[in-house]
Amino acid sequence: MPKDIKYKMMLQFFDCFFAYWYRNRRSLEWRFFDVAPDRAVGIYCGMQLPDPTEYRRLELAAPRTVKTSAGEFLLVDPEGLRRLVEEAFHDLSFYFRPAHLRQLAGVLEDPAASDNDKFVVGALLKNAAISAEGLLPMCQDTGTATVMGWKGERVLTGVDDNEPITRGVYDAYHKNYLRYSQLAALDMFEEKNTGSNLPAQIDIGSVAGAEYRLLCIAKGGGSANKTALFQQSKALLNPAALEKFMREKVAALGTAACPPYHLAMVVGGLSPEMNLKTLKLATTGWLDGLPESGSTEGRFFRDRYWEGKLLEAARDSRLGAQFGGKYLALDARVVRLPRHAGSCPVSIGVSCSADRNIKAKINADGLYLEKLERSPERLLPASSSAPGAARIDLNRPMSEIRAALSKLPLGALVLLDGPLAVARDSVHARLAELLAAGRPLPAWFRDHPVYYAGPAKVPPGYAEGSFGPTTAQRMDGYAREFMSRGASLVMLAKGNRSPDVAAACKDFGGFYLGTIGGAAALLAAENISSSEVLDFPELGMEAARRITVKNFPAFILCDDQGGDYYAGLLRPRPGSPKEGRHE
């Protein structure tokens, strides 16, 4: 059916329907709330909070406004919605919010920041500059695409909005050098990559007005996995108990989700689902305009005092920006919600250093996207070198590589040169199946250090696509068995490991090294010179590979003496803040 005829038929229907509603609106009026609707908790996501965001207008035709007897309506072309979503996911894959980059740059000026804080942040800023060139995305895990929308009741598209939004997501991932990370379940245990990064998570709600507001998010697995919900009770709601809880949970976050974080905690909620949705919005900054005090009607609010306490807990952890220091988090948000008397859900979560969130809106003036920073190179430090780093030649036999690492102290920075084997979740599972079947592990898994990673698509002129580390803890269950077979004796990834991995390193003479999470574009551009698939090519981005690296930075986090660098950071110190203290 031609589009103009379709619109005319749709308008005739809505003209009749809304004319009837308008004449009978008093008898049809809903009575769910005893307070004014703008104070009711049920519409919190759609509240028009203060929004200082700077937007840019897309070069697309503005929606049409049509008049009916029930009022004016905004007609949005579905193609415009698709284009808006496609451009949103392009931009958030390559560009950062200016405020986020200013916060990172501020770390370099802070005399209380550790040398490791500054080394990591310098790399993240350089990563942002490389990513802004538009070829290598800022992170190899280009995330699950999530679109949250608040559609004014006077906005019409004439279609199921899931269709143009899904197409926009597909086009962004298909046309750019992004990674497909979504797995379809063929049965309870067998999975296959969808090859498109679909499905997307789409959540559209209805609100008052004639504007369509959207929040597009690309959240990687490492960051998403740090979302935690705890079913608590009234017993938590006193200063001593809350601070003790807060400090325990912040320390448990660890560094696997690529700090410095934007940290958030939500206390309360009419359901666990409400709590978790609020948490997601809080980590993106969507709720920054909430009021700062509660009310008898149960409004949502930010608690600035406890935001300070949450940030203090992050800094007191000493985990820092990945390898010890002050900057586990850049900022913190604490949102308090109403709750049922018999439950008190509490959640904690992060937006990682790849802070991929972007706002969009459609109104009578046009289609708009949040303006992101396209010239981050202006914030680069004068130098981000690694003074005093020891060089490790990976072309030598494994026994000599381990001997060289054994001479260095726990926490030492090293620069790696030579071949690495690449293997992550699916390859580890396949190798475990080999052992279960009585077959030997492949030679490449014994002869080279093993890098836990999976790249994005390869742009022209590069050996690999963005290629940062994945979370090491997911491979903890395999480490002891593989090391006992003389394999995986030097491991490279991000984040902390379980005590058993540290013990296995002591038992079998192994090492775990950590590299910078969130610097995937930088590693691909400057530290990886060649790549080839070694095994399991059917696994796509999870296939086993051999890469050649140069000046590849890493820290010794577990050594052959059983040392655990992160455990040492988290160990209580004399004079450190006591759990539960409230001043």
pLDDT of residue 13: 55
**Alpha-carbon distances of 419 from 157, 442, 445, 546, rounded to whole Å:** 53, 16, 12, 7
**What is the model's pLDDT at position 581?**
33
CA angle 217, 219, 221 (to 5 degrees): 165
What is the DSSP secondary structure assignment for residue 61, as one 8-state letter? P
Residue 241 pLDDT greater than 90, yes or no: yes
Stretch 300-328: mean pLDDT, rounded? Answer: 97
Residue 583 has pLDDT above 50, yes or no: no
Q: How many CB atoms lie within 10 A of CB 410?
A: 15
Confidence of residue 65 (pLDDT cuts 50, 70, 90): very high
- Judged against a pLDDT cut of 80, whether residue 573 lies above it is answered with no
In this predicted structure, the answer to whether residue 259 has a pLDDT above a threshold of 90 is yes
- Decide: 343 and 231 in contact? Cβ < 8 Å: yes
Which pLDDT value is given to residue 381? Answer: 81
pLDDT reading at 528 higher than 90: yes
The share of the chain scoring above pLDDT 70, in percent, equals: 89
For the cut 80, the answer to whether the pLDDT of residue 132 exceeds it is yes
Mean pLDDT value of segment 45-67: 87
Band (pLDDT 50/70/90 cuts) for residue 382 is confident
Residue 203 has pLDDT above 60, yes or no: yes
| 3-class secondary-structure state, position 533 | strand
pLDDT average, residue stretch 89-107: 98
User: What is the radius of gyration, based on Cα positions, of the chain?
Assistant: 26
- Please report the pLDDT score of residue 15 as a whole number: 57
- How far apart CA 356 and CA 370 sit, in angstroms, is 12
Say which range, 39-48, 267-276, 357-366, 473-482, has the weakest mean pLDDT: 39-48
For the record, the structure tokens of 526 come out as: 């400057």
- Where is 152: in which H helix or E strand? strand 144-152
pTM across the whole model: 0.90
Q: What is the mean pLDDT of residues 479-506?
A: 98
Return the HEC string of 306-348: HHHHHHHHHHHCCECCCCCECCCEEEEEEEEEEECCCCEEEEE
Query: How far from 228 is each of 64, 251, 276, 288, 410, CA to CA, in Å?
Result: 44, 13, 9, 21, 30
- Average pLDDT value for residue range 228-234: 98
Check residues 35 and 495 and name the one with the higher pLDDT.
Answer: 495
Mean pLDDT of 25-53: 49
Closest C-alpha among 477, 482, 483, 535 to residue 505: 483
Lowest pLDDT segment from 376-385, 409-418, 500-509, 537-546: 376-385
Mean pLDDT, range 414-443, rounded to an integer: 97
Q: Per-residue pLDDT averaged across 354-359, rounded?
A: 97
pLDDT category, 8, cuts 50, 70, 90?
A: low
State the burial class of residue 283 (Cβ atoms within 10 Å of its Cβ: 0-12, 13-18, 19+).
buried
Instruction: Give the number of residues written for the chain.
Output: 583
Show Cβ contacts of residue 537 under 8 Å, excluding neighbours closer than 6 positions. 543
Residue 386 reports pLDDT greater than 90: no
Given a cut of 50, whether residue 40 has pLDDT beyond it is: no
* 390-569 CATH, one of 3.40.190.150, 3.20.130.10, 3.40.190.10, 3.40.50.300: 3.20.130.10
Share of the chain above pLDDT 90, in %: 87
What number is the average pLDDT over the span 117-144? 97
Per-residue confidence (pLDDT) for residue 49, from 0 to 100? 81
pLDDT recorded at residue 388: 79
Q: In a 10 Å sphere around its CB, with 0-12 CB exposed, 13-18 middle and 19+ buried, how is residue 212 labelled? A: buried
Give the start-to-end residue ranges of the domains of the chain.
Answer: 53-220+355-384, 229-353, 390-569
Q: Per-residue pLDDT for 22 more than 60?
A: no
Helix axes 425-436, 476-484, angle to 10 degrees: 40
Mean pLDDT of the chain: 91
Among 448, 512, 447, 455, smallest CA distance to 478 is for 512
Average pLDDT of the segment spanning 109-120: 96
State mean pLDDT over 18-34.
40
